[in-house]
Amino acid sequence: MLLILCIALGNLAGATESERRRLASPTGVLPPNDSFVQPESTRRMIALIRRIYDEADPRRNPYRSSGQIPLLQALEKEGDEKQSADPMQLSDIKLHLAVHLLQAGRTEEAHRQYERVERFVQEKNIPLDSRLEGTIRNSKALCHLRAGERANCLANHNADSCLFPIQGGGVHQLQDGSRAAAAELTALLTKFPGDLRARWLLNIAHMTLGEYPDKVPARWLIPPDRFAAEDDIGRFPDVAGALGLAVNDLAGGAVMEDFDRDGFLDLMVSSWGFDERDQLRVFRSNGDGTFTERTEQAGLTGLVGALNLIHGDYDNDGFADVLAMRGAWLFTEGHFPFSLLRNNGDFTFTDVTEEAGLLHFKPTQTAVWFDYNGDGWLDIFVGIESAARETNRCELYRNNGDGTFTECAAEHGVDVLSYVKSVASGDFNNDGRPDLFLSGLGGQRILFRNDGPAGADSSPRAASFEARSAVRIRL
């Protein structure tokens, strides 16, 4: 017994802080570390992302509405004050201002702006074709629908809110927004009965009013059987709010993983934007079906902007680490670094991107962990978005086994130039080597066959493929 105790004490003395806490725990599971201080490397990444975002030109980012609104308001005011202003150009400015007000969630202002656009084109005798009129009136209806969403689904969110088809608790109690939208859409369809966007929104509006399908005019009704599945798998109610997961953020990524190895799945979720509200968040399972947010305690406060999250254990310590991908869809304004978040084993995370050799500045939302060279360490392939006039090539990072990576895409012939939106890995030919499949915007698909080696005793094999469908990885 004494010998066992001495061995245990010796292990504790030579271990890291995380290892000491784990060895001292009767279950071998680390509790969350409330005393964790955010490391300097994480703070540097936070400052870097903020600097890139602050120095970017809002006019080159179609999604940065909050930055474009004051610029467009100034241009509109200048145009209104100039008697010589080009009416067509000024109407375009006014319309763009309305679009960005709507995208920024300023729905009442957006609705007033769309009405100003309508009055302006009438006063200036600017031809209002079906496309422009349809855009304006559909957008006005969206303003009403979003006002209804804010008054109902956000202010009174429940298990049925926003679940399609909308029914039960998802029906709006405060119906002014949806009724105004239905009136706008009905008027538009009366004039342009072939407007499919308006038809779709009209059916949605009546769902939120509890009037679908009975009160949708027959000529514009989308029949309920169009939404029926071949196999009824039941309805999945939204239980996030009841479980401590109700967060209103933009689209992002999600990882469900047992980050602390206590036997219960935890959650990490991200948001696409770069404001403070787009915080990367982590929720720890309480073991009873509920969750507690541990974002600050985990050392993640200030990390923003990830459209996707991908997890894998790159350092083979048994704890899942996370890649946070940034810059997608932003073209020239999307040159943000992705982050490698090392799981410290005690429900804290450290951004180790720079020290791991991964600090690159290219727009991406997709990557895959895979051990392409069979050495027992997970490598990373990053699918990069390369638009017109850009040469952002895909990247392959070989794991050096010491916490660092080496970029080697060109060496292995996978430095693809494409607008890559998804990448997956699997052994499609059962030769023991993980292959790659890339999917690009516009229909480009590339299958890369891994020609080895699968292990230390294997040798590369020759391959021949058509370039448009498959390319060999040379290892």
Residues near 86 by beta carbon (within 8 Å), at least 6 away in sequence: none
Q: Of all residues in the chain, what percent carry a pLDDT higher than 90? A: 70
H helix count then E strand count, the chain: 9, 16
Would you call the peptide bond into 213 cis, given omega within 30 degrees of 0 as the criterion?
yes
Mean pLDDT along residues 435-461: 73
Lowest-confidence pick of 5-19, 171-185, 186-200, 450-464: 5-19
Q: Six-digit token pair at 282? A: 């982590």
Would you call the peptide bond into 363 cis, given omega within 30 degrees of 0 as the criterion?
no
Residue 180, by phi and psi: left (phi above 0), alpha (psi -120 to 50) or beta?
alpha
pLDDT surpasses 70 at 412: yes
Would you call the peptide bond into 223 cis, given omega within 30 degrees of 0 as the criterion?
no
Q: Of all residues in the chain, what percent carry a pLDDT higher than 70? A: 89
Mean pLDDT along residues 422-429: 94
Residue with tokens 């007000």: 101
Residue 17's pLDDT band (boundaries 50, 70, 90)? very low
Residues near 293 by beta carbon (within 8 Å), at least 6 away in sequence: 244, 281, 282, 283, 284
Residue 465's pLDDT band (boundaries 50, 70, 90)? very low
More confident of the two residues 234 and 13? 234
pTM for the predicted model, two decimal places: 0.85
C-alpha of 474 from chain center: 32
Label each residue of 259-301 as H, E or C: CCCCCCCEEEECCCCCCHHHECEEEEECCCCCEEECCCCCCCC
**Distance set, CA 60 to CA 53, 63, 326 (Å):** 12, 9, 17
Strand order in the sheet with 291-293: 254-257, 266-269, 281-285, 291-293
Q: Six-digit token pair at 435? A: 């292959």
Report the pLDDT value the prediction gives residue 11, as an integer from 0 to 100: 38
- Residue-wise pLDDT for 237-261, tens only, equals 888 888 888 887 888 999 999 999 9
Alpha-carbon gap, residue 132 to 135, rounded angstroms: 5
- Residue-wise pLDDT for 263-301, tens only, equals 999 999 999 999 888 999 999 999 999 999 999 999 999
Report the pLDDT value the prediction gives residue 390, as an integer from 0 to 100: 84
Report the pLDDT value the prediction gives residue 468, as an integer from 0 to 100: 36
Mean pLDDT along residues 121-145: 91
List phi, psi (to 5°) of 448: -105, 120
pLDDT surpasses 90 at 78: yes
pLDDT surpasses 90 at 204: yes
E strand or H helix at 179, and its extent?
A: helix 176-191
Contact by Cβ (8 Å): 97, 113: yes
Q: Six-digit token pair at 15? A: 């271990």
pLDDT surpasses 60 at 304: yes
- Residue-wise pLDDT for 113-132, tens only, equals 999 999 999 999 988 888 88
